[in-house]
Structure 1
C-alpha cells in the first residue's frame, strides 16, 4: 500500500488555571478530547462539569484550560513526574504504588473472543490517519450497541486519553464499554484505563509485566495480540469466552 503522507506531531503546552503542566508531543486533532481525558486520567478532574473552559491557541501551541474544583494545582504539579515510555512521550503523576490504590473493577460483563477480533478488525479499517501514514497509534471504545469511537495520535497513551476524554464528555458508563488499542500496554496505559473503570482492555500487541501485575490486582481483563484468530489472555478473569475452536487463545500465567 502506498502511503500518501508522513505522520505529524506538534509540541503543545498544557496550562491549567495558568500553571504549565508540561509540553507534550501530540497529533493536532481531537485536542479537547485529549485535554479532558488527560486531566481525568491524572486525577485533576472527576467529571466533565469541573472543566470551565478549554481553548487551543495554534499560534503559540498552547492548550489553556480553566477548572473549578478544589484541587491544589500548585501542589499537584510539584509532585514527582513519571515520564511515559514510547512515542509521543508524556508524563504521569501516578506511580505503580498510586495505581494500586485505584478502585478494583467489579463489572463481570463477558465478551466472545470472536466479537473482540471482529471489533479489532473494524477498528483497523476505520483508522484514517494510520491508513494515510502508516505511523499512527489508535484507541477505540466499543459501546454496548457495538458502535465504535476511534481516536488517533502519534502517541499510544495520547490516543487512549482522547477516547477517555470523549467518554467523559459524553457521560458514558465504563461498565458498558470495551477498550481497544494498537499500542503496547504498559503500566501508565493500564492506569489510564483503570482510572476510568474499563473492565476489559484489548491490544494488537503486548503488555508489560508490570501492567499485567496491576491488571490482575485491579481485577481487569487484559488481552494482547488480537490478530486474525489469535489472542493472549494475560489475566484470566473469565470475561473472555473462547468461541473459536481453532483459534490460538492462550492464557498466560505470570
Structure 2
C-alpha cells in the first residue's frame, strides 16, 4: 500500500495526534478511548468475538454467556480465563455448547458482537501521492451539512446520523439509533443506487469504533470525520487501511489521528505577501438590512467570512463606510478616501492601508470562500498588476488580486469620477483566469455567488446553496 508523505507512525506505536486550531495543524496530546477484540472460546468451540472496553472483561464474558442462556449460575462456570494481551477468553461450562449461537444484533451502542475480528474486513484505500487533499473547510462544511440533515435528532434526540460527503454535498445520509447501522444504511443506499463511495468522506455524529472503521475501509472511503472520539482500535485500523481519521470536529477545530498528510497539505500556512480584504460598503438595498450583520452560524454573516479569510491571510482588512458598525471584528477597518465611489473606492482605501504589496478582495455577500481558488489567484500575482477570474457572467473583479502598483492609475480613475472597478484595467497588466481554469478548481463557480435578496439568504442559511 502506498504511503502519504509524513505518515511516520511505527507498527505498535500510537500515532501522533495533530490538532487543527483554525489556522494550522500542530502536535497535541489526546488518547482515544480503548477498545479490544476478545475471541471467546467455550468448551473448545470458537463461539464469538466480543468488541469491548478492556476493563473487567471477565464480567463481560460471564454476562454474555448468561444472556445467551448458556449459564444460569456462577456454578455453571467451571473455568474462566481472559488474556487481554492476546485478545482471548477461554471458558469451560457445565453442559454442552450448541453448534451455533444465534446473536441478537443490537443497535451497536454497547459491546458489539462479531464473528470476525474487525480490521480484516476493510480493503486498503488507494492513497494519492499528491492531492487531491481535503481542506479543513470541507470538513467543517460536511459536519454542518450533517447537522442540517439530522431532522430526527432535532425532533427527539437520541439518534445517530452519518453521511457520505463528496467535497461539495452529502451524497447519502442515514439516521438510526445505532451508530453502526447508519454505516450499513449508507452502504445499502450506495449498493442499490449504484453509487461508488471510493474517495468520499464519511461524516458521523457519534464515536468511531473499530467496526465502523473496517466497514468504511470496505467501502473505499478515504476520510472519516466525527464530532466525537475514535477508539484506539479504530485508530489502528484506519492507520493500516490508509484512512485519514478525524475526530472532535467542532466549531473551527478538530483532531487528526491517522494519515494527516491529506489534511496537512490543505491546512497550509497563510498566503505570504497578500492582505485579505472584505468589502462591506454596499447599501444592501434589495436585502432591506445590512447583509453583513445577518445571523449565520451563531454569529453574523461577516464573521463567518472573516474567519475563513483569517485562515488564509496574516492580515485582514474590512473596507467600509462605517467602521464603528463592525467594531466586533478583530481586524483593521478602513473608510473610503474617495466616498461615494462604490466598490472601487473600498478597494483603493484597502490597498493604500495594506501592509502588503498585494491584496485579495472579496465582497461581504460572497460567502462561498474557495481557498484553493484564492491561492491560485494569489500565485499568479507576480506576473500581473491585477489577477481577475472569469465567471459564467464575465469578469469577477470583486474576487480578485490587486497590486499596490495600480494605485496611481486607480486614483486617476477615481478623480475622473469613474467608479467602475474595471475602469482602469486597460491601463495596467491584467491576468485573466479563464472560466475553464476556474472550473477545474471550483466546478460550480460557487465562489462567485453572492447573497443579495432575502430568499437567497434564507436558502443559503438553510443549506440550499
TM-score range, shorter chain: 0.5 to 0.7
User: What secondary structure is seen at the aligned counterpart in 2 of 1:175?
Assistant: coil
- 1:79 deviates by 8.6
> Of 207, 230, 245, which residue of structure 1 is paired with 2:253?
230
**How far, CA to CA, are the matches of 2:217 and 2:267 in structure 1?**
24
- 1:105 equivalent in alignment to 2:125: yes
> Secondary structure at 2:258's aligned position in 1?
coil
Deviates more, 1:200-209 or 1:235-244: 235-244
Q: Any gaps of 5 or more consecutive residues in structure 1?
A: 1-76, 248-254
Residue from 154, 165, 190 that aligns with 2:177? 154
1:138 aligned counterpart, secondary structure: strand
> 1:166 maps to what in 2?
189
Match of 1:141 among 135, 158, 164: 164
Whether the 8 Å contact between 2:161 and 2:179 is mirrored in structure 1 is yes
The answer on whether the counterparts of 1:82 and 1:95 sit within 8 Å (CA) in structure 2 is: no
- Residues 82 and 237 of structure 1, relative CA distance in 2, 3 Å threshold: farther
Which of 129, 138, 143 is the equivalent residue of 2:152?
Answer: 129
Highest RCO, 1 vs 2 (Cα 8 Å, sep ≥ 6): 1
User: Which structure 2 residues correspond to residues 1-254 of structure 1 after superposition, within 5 A?
Assistant: 78=100, 86-87=108-109, 91-96=113-118, 99-100=119-120, 102-108=122-128, 109-143=132-166, 145-240=168-263, 241-242=266-267
Structure 1 position 191, deviation (Å): 1.1
Aligned residues of 1:82 and 1:94 also touching (Cα < 8 A): no
Contact 1:219 1:237 in 2 (8 A): no
1:69 corresponds to: none
**Shift of residue 144, structure 1, vs aligned partner:** 5.2
Deviation at 1:163, TM superposition (A): 1.0
How many Å separate the matches in 2 of 1:195 and 1:165?
Answer: 13
Shift in Å, 1:88: 7.5
User: What is the CA RMSD across the aligned residues, in angstroms?
Assistant: 3.0
1:160 Cα deviation after fit: 1.3
Query: Retained in 2: the 8 A contact 1:105–1:218?
Result: yes
Q: What SS is found at the alignment partner of 2:126?
A: coil
Please state how far the C-alpha of 1:148 moved relative to its aligned partner: 3.6
Q: 1:128 to 1:238 in 2, by over 3 A?
A: same
User: How far apart in 1 are the matches of 2:105 and 2:235?
Assistant: 19
Larger Rg: 2
Provide the C-alpha distance between the structure 1 equivalents of 2:146 and 2:117, rounded to a whole number of angstroms: 30
In structure 2, the CA distance between the partners of 1:191 and 1:136, relative to structure 1 (3 Å rule), is same
Structure 2 unaligned regions, length at least 5: 1-98, 269-307, 313-465
Question: Given that residues 160 and 182 in structure 2 are in contact (C-alpha distance below 8 angstroms), is that contact kept between their aligned partners in structure 1?
Answer: yes
TM-score, scaled to structure 1: 0.59
State the distance in 1 between where 2:194 and 2:108 align.
30
Assess if the C-alpha contact under 8 Å between 1:204 and 1:225 holds in 2: yes
Taking structure 2 as the reference length, the TM-score comes to 0.33
Q: 1:101 to 1:168 in 2, by over 3 A?
A: closer
